[in-house]
Structure 1
């Protein structure tokens, strides 16, 4: 039935996008928006016999719009889409839950769960312009995984063994292994960033948010 709405909007020459019963119509002014909202709502109720939910029907500017999880911003070459800040916030919260230190789970299984969330979220939003967003998430995620690994090593002897295995010189490993349980502070030290680096975590199976996004985005826009 909503196909009839599509035909009507096309006949009127309106620019619109619709997914199921969620529709956005773009016009050039607030006055035009008011006219279109009234006439289209009337068409839906009188001609199609459907009820318009007026609590969800509103006039808004593109920057304030949230549609299917996307937000919008204007660049020098026109309007662009990216995940709405609410969508980003929920994704960050999901990753935070999956990287809780108190969650007793094997690192391999944890990474598998992270990869499922990363691929799913990025596949959905890959059309959007979000390079800086995923780069920031990537860095934060690697820091949280370093915290987990450092905590799992527990004792100084185990930390020394782990650092040596990752190629850290012995005199540095001796010093670093005694840093103790200030996990967040230790995880941000440059020596640990180099030891448990992006390539090391990728070797353990972790998907890079940034690399995966760049790959999927290129396919979407090509």
Structure 2
């Protein structure tokens, strides 16, 4: 790929011997996923220096940095990458679902519920559950507990409005008893006879996922791609825990 030479370019300037190990006085690190990447540095000056290297590298190949996705920012201000927000709070790095990712899934769920006025409850549940499961599973390895709780509350309010629109003349008690039931959880659950809505909060927060030994790196490409992406994120988090680095977020 065109971007494959970036890592060597940076290593040749900032790493003795042109390899990614050993002395790293300017705290330069490179994390990439597809066409999106992050480069860390010890100062804004170093970050700008790297940006100019990248501009020249890309211009030679008929490409340019994305103005929308490219910025230089301090880690205390934070930045978004792959749907997550990286930011230090009182010296501690926290990785959370980004506001953009939260807004996107909230809007998607809201749009579905609004157009589902005439749907059967079970059909609505069947459409929403994969979205809830997919989004919460993606974010289960970062600091998501509070956001998961907030998402459940938002969806509850959306579904309550959905139910009231369907039965404008019915009482609150009648509506609640028709669409919400106890399902062994000690709480009311939006559920039909055969199915129930998933909770974001029920997704377990997992800081590390062990390797499934039965997986084959040649046959299970998606599985290993996901592991590599998560490993890169964890490596980046570890680097920021031990440095006061600046960070560039670059994209083309």
- TM-score with structure 2 length normalisation? 0.61
* CA gap 1:82/1:158 in 2 versus in 1, 3 angstroms: closer
Q: Once the two structures are superposed, what CA deviation does each residue of 1:145-173 show, in whole Å capped at 9, x if it has no partner?
A: 23434554566599659749989xxxxxx
Match of 1:201 among 179, 190, 195: 190
Q: RMSD of the TM alignment (CA)?
A: 3.5
Is 2:50 the partner of 1:61? Answer: no
Given candidates 25, 29, 36, the residue that maps to 2:50 is 36
Alignment partner of 2:46: what SS?
helix
Higher helix fraction (1 or 2): 1
Is the contact made by 2:96 and 2:143 (CA closer than 8 Å) also made in structure 1? yes
Native 8 Å contact 2:85 2:97 kept in 1: yes
- Where does structure 2 lack aligned partners over 5 or more consecutive residues? 16-27, 211-252
Q: TM-score normalized by structure 1?
A: 0.68
Query: Which structure carries more relative contact order (alpha carbon 8 Å, separation 6+)?
Result: 2
Residues 64 and 71 in structure 1, CA contact (< 8 A), matched pair in contact too: yes
Q: Deviations over 1:101-120 (max 9, x none)?
A: 86210111101111121122
Among 175, 197, 206, which residue is 1:218 paired with? 206
Alignment of 1:118-129 (within 5 A): 118-129=132-143
Task: Report if aligned partners of 2:117, 2:162 keep a CA contact under 8 Å in 1.
Answer: no
Q: 1:10 to 1:79 in 2, by over 3 A?
A: farther
The corresponding residue for 1:110 is 124
Q: Normalized per residue, which structure has more strand?
A: 2
Aligned length: 189
Aligned position for 2:103: 89
Name which one, 1 or 2, has greater alpha-carbon Rg.
1
Q: Where do 5+ consecutive residues of structure 1 fail to align? A: 168-192
